[in-house]
Structure 1
Amino acid sequence: MRELVYYIATSIDGFIADPAGDFSSFPLDPETLAVLFDRYPETCPIHAREALGVTGAPRRFDTVLMGRRTHQPAVDAGLVGGAYPHLRQIVAAHWALPEAPGLEVINGDLTSKVRALKAEAGRDIWLCGGAELAGQLIGEIDEIQLKINPLVLGAGIPLFRSEPLRRTFNPGGLEWLPGGVSLATFRAAVSSG
């Protein structure tokens, strides 16, 4: 069974972007990016792949799941096929999006739809963002990988927005990356009930 992995950058104080949704304050150290994109080349957006020399085939994920606001920068940049055309791209949106090649739009009962995705054959599913979608799907997240950037934003968009159900995760590891970023991994605790 495939896993849903919330793999996202955050500040030390748990914000994935500033209050306006901008995440450009996160440092983009070339050495950090090289390590992260060597691990998961599929997470490098199409517009940056050539510039950064990322050519690797997907290693862990074959599907990316994101909310409409996470997908919007690709639309604004004119990336008709989305930021990740090398993956199956699924956008969760409450209303219709413009038709685009390679994009699937889901809405309604997201939990059931994600369970069906997880039951399909293939590689894991990357939950790219955002906070509302992560909050809605907290019960389906198998692993959280936080790229913790060495800064405090003070306010902004939290890792989870809405009233997520309480869920326990076990520490899975902590790695120090170049540029002062740490990668913290947490695995969903298996309930004994």
Structure 2
Amino acid sequence: MKNDKIKNIIFDLGDVILNIDVPLASLSFADLSGKDQKEVLTIFRENDVFRQFETGFLSEADFRNFVRSILNNNEWDDHIIDKAWNSLLLDLPLERVELLKKLSQSYRLFLLSNTSSIHITQVHKILHAATGIEKLDDLFEKVYLSYEMGLMKPDIRIYQQVLDDSGLSAEETIFLDDNLDNINGAAKLGIEAIHVQKPLTILDYLKDYAV
């Protein structure tokens, strides 16, 4: 049901705007290293790879060298690591972009994503190939990325920073994310948080706002 107080909509990226398959990245690194996928996941988790890269603690070069180190292979070129890391990024359905364009006529739109610079570079390539649009910034009033902010969802500070930076009222804002922890983090500030769950998409959740 439509909330008539809503003036702003904040979108997550992965599995909200862009389709992703997260396990594909660990599977790609498993294939490269000859290790079991579960072992690769354990190594990544124990070394806090995702958080370090997606909060900007590691630069692209640092990340690649870190992966070479923890997976014991110093012969991988940068593009090999990038390709494996980006393998989880799938397609960007055109109808979601058309929905964003329609919503932007009545609402202020923002993006808030836990991501890395390597992923964003690839996302822009996928976006341009699918729609002719150069970058995410062309679809949103402002794009907020974890690696630039030094914070990750569901840290409540990242939502507050978005609200403060763009002058948004929580009560006038919807946030859509596929991760329940992220939804709960936003809800703590009074944001109307919508948990996007397959097979439903943002076209289903926001149909009342796109009329």
TM (norm. structure 2) is: 0.36
The structure in which a higher percent of residues are strand is: 1
The structure in which a higher percent of residues are helix is: 2
TM (norm. structure 1) is: 0.38
| Largest Rg, 1 or 2 | 2
Higher RCO (C-alpha under 8 Å, 6+ residues apart): 1
